[in-house]
Structure 1
Amino acid sequence: MKRVLIFDSGVGGLSVYQEIYAQLPNVQYIYAFDDAAFPYGELPEDELIARTRHIVSLLVERHSIDLVVVACNTASTIVLPTLRDVLAIPVVGVVPAIKPAAMLSERKVIGLLATPATVQREYTELLISQFASHCEVLRIGSTRLVEMAEQKLRGQAISIAELEKILKPWRNVVDCIVLGCTHFPLIKDEITLALDGDVTIVDSGRAIANRVKDLLGDVTTSSAEPNLTYNSAAGINTAALDSSLAAMQLEPVKTLHYPRL
């Protein structure tokens, strides 16, 4: 039986999990999110590296993990080299889908919707220069959209009016939007509605799933183990979230206790 660990600062990585699960339902999944330090985009880099390394290494050892997915754009840009140094298994990260967006855009004006940290990262500039130098790339860095995605999975309503206000600068301007945060596919329908549906929206979820499938190899044997969910924030009410998790074939949230953090 193959086991895959999917890690994020919050519930955004569930969008990646859904893409991978759709292709590989016979794998056991362990989803872990570091809610005690959410959002990662506001953490100092050394703290982000320390937390990610500790949590991921702990769960890899506990569950004999075969592959790790860091389903967070912010963390992927910072911690992948460290994790690959300390782990003897494949580690897959995520990057904004700028290349396919540049190919799909007819106007050659694309929007990058991500966290404030991601839109400012040097690696984002590198992706744009490599794959979208012939396009105008407009950027919106929004922590609020991350919070909205978290709220949605906890059963709270999303304000379309608020989304329209955030995305107003792009109306009738961009024809393709990159969801550069794994939280954002969770509110893709709401984003589409706020922009009247007149855009193409792309994310990296399917590409990540394809990569995981290639790396895992044969997974025809079904897992007999449940798919587990861990969170670092003790004492939070997860009842509404647990309902969303159940619909995704994930067990209710368990608190992950670790002494260093």
Structure 2
Amino acid sequence: MPFAPDAPIGVFDSGVGGLSVLQHIRQTLPQESLIYFADSGFAPYGEKPEAVIIDRSLAITDFLLQHHIKALVVACNTATAAAIQLLRQRHPDLIIVGIEPGLKPAAALTQSGVIGVLATRGTLHSKKFQDLRDHLTQTTGIKVEQRACIGLASQIEKGELHSSTTSTLIQKYLTPLLNAGADAIVLGCTHYPFVIPLINDVIAQTSEPGRQVHIIDTGLAVAQQLKRRLIKTNLLTHSSDTADVTAWTTGSQSSLKTAFTQLLKMPATTIHTVVPQHIPTDK
């Protein structure tokens, strides 16, 4: 299938979390047209069986291909871990960029030899993550502490970015990592960057004065990798104008519009949200 330089880039997540990646793509490649797909009707992915996540990822990719995308960003750690290998097998000519926990950047920053990972249960239980973690520990001796943050992505999906419930969840999951000596915290879910202020509050409350704790968000690295791939394949857009973003959701149109406005500070007039009537799946 030939891909056109002025075709859009597709980005998808189980909900609004992928907007943290979209933001970096927008800043890195402002002239590129973007289609964002929020599968909010099936969110969160992190607590669902792997077969369901694979099914949704394949179906959404097919939907985006019908809109003639030239590249795909899987802006979800859980979906990347579960489905990206199969997506690449099915679409070998399509640029596909996934996201995974930033264990390597964290390993480069840690002074204590302990890094912490906050992620969904689906990501932490995936073979892709476990292989990456085991290779890191075997080759560097760095200890990886991890917590499955059950319920945190759902809170963020609801827009509860400053609530006491969200803060309590972060404190519950993050404090054991800090107490274990972690000085680099990997955000292993694209929803989590939106609550970095609450994460910093817990770090400030828990850590001794002067202790530096790094927070690792890999959204920028994904955007940079996407740019490199587009340049290599001569698929950067010919346009010099800032492009529009089109958004699709299997959930609430108004909720997604609010997320764009509140989380990305983008004018609502640039966002066009449509709820697809049906996204066919293999099941």
Q: Same fold (TM over 0.5)?
A: yes
What is the Cα deviation at residue 83 of structure 1? 1.8
Q: Measured at CA, do residues 232 and 130 of structure 1 come closer, stay the same or move farther in structure 2, by a change above 3 Å?
A: same
Structure-to-structure mapping, 1:91-170, within 5 angstroms: 91-133=96-138, 134-152=141-159, 157-159=162-164, 160-170=167-177
SS in 1 for 2:41: helix
What is the Cα deviation at residue 259 of structure 1? 5.2
**Quick check: 1:181 aligned with 2:208?**
no
SS in 1 for 2:158: helix
Q: Supply the AA of the counterpart residue of 2:239.
A: T
CA distance in 2, matches of 1:188, 1:258: 35
CA distance in 2, matches of 1:243, 1:224: 17
Give structure 2 stretches of 5+ with no counterpart: 1-5
- Which residue of the other structure, out of 4, 26, 30, is the alignment partner of 1:25? 30
Q: What does residue 89 of structure 2 align with?
A: 85
What is the Cα deviation at residue 82 of structure 1? 2.4
**Quick check: 1:255 aligned with 2:259?**
no
CA distance in 1, matches of 2:217, 2:9: 21
Q: What does residue 207 of structure 1 align with?
A: 221
**Preserved CA contact (<8 Å) 1:98 1:132:** no
**Preserved CA contact (<8 Å) 1:101 1:176:** yes
Q: Measured at CA, do residues 136 and 252 of structure 1 come closer, stay the same or move farther in structure 2, by a change above 3 Å?
A: same
Q: Supply the AA of the counterpart residue of 1:136.
A: K
What is the Cα deviation at residue 39 of structure 1? 1.2
CA distance in 1, matches of 2:75, 2:143: 27
**Preserved CA contact (<8 Å) 1:12 1:72:** yes
Q: Measured at CA, do residues 138 and 3 of structure 1 come closer, stay the same or move farther in structure 2, by a change above 3 Å?
A: same
**Preserved CA contact (<8 Å) 1:102 1:132:** no
Q: Supply the AA of the counterpart residue of 2:125.
A: Q
Q: Supply the AA of the counterpart residue of 1:166.
A: Y
TM-score normalised by the chain length of structure 1: 0.89
- Which residue of the other structure, out of 51, 55, 58, is the alignment partner of 1:46? 51
Q: Measured at CA, do residues 143 and 253 of structure 1 come closer, stay the same or move farther in structure 2, by a change above 3 Å?
A: farther
Structure-to-structure mapping, 1:52-71, within 5 angstroms: 52-62=57-67, 64-71=68-75
Q: Measured at CA, do residues 3 and 111 of structure 1 come closer, stay the same or move farther in structure 2, by a change above 3 Å?
A: same
Aligned pairs, number: 258
Q: Measured at CA, do residues 242 and 224 of structure 1 come closer, stay the same or move farther in structure 2, by a change above 3 Å?
A: closer
**Preserved CA contact (<8 Å) 2:106 2:184:** yes
Q: Supply the AA of the counterpart residue of 1:85.
A: Q
SS in 2 for 1:195: helix
What is the Cα deviation at residue 36 of structure 1? 1.2
What is the Cα deviation at residue 86 of structure 1? 3.0
Q: Supply the AA of the counterpart residue of 1:104.
A: L
**Preserved CA contact (<8 Å) 1:245 1:252:** no
What is the Cα deviation at residue 129 of structure 1? 2.2
* 1:171-193 deviation line (CA, Å, top 9, x unaligned): 34211111111111111121111
Q: What does residue 3 of structure 2 align with?
A: none
Q: Measured at CA, do residues 230 and 138 of structure 1 come closer, stay the same or move farther in structure 2, by a change above 3 Å?
A: same
- Which residue of the other structure, out of 259, 273, 279, is the alignment partner of 1:241? 259
Q: What does residue 16 of structure 1 align with?
A: 21
**Preserved CA contact (<8 Å) 1:8 1:72:** yes
SS in 1 for 2:215: strand
Misfit runs of 4+, over 4 Å: 234-239
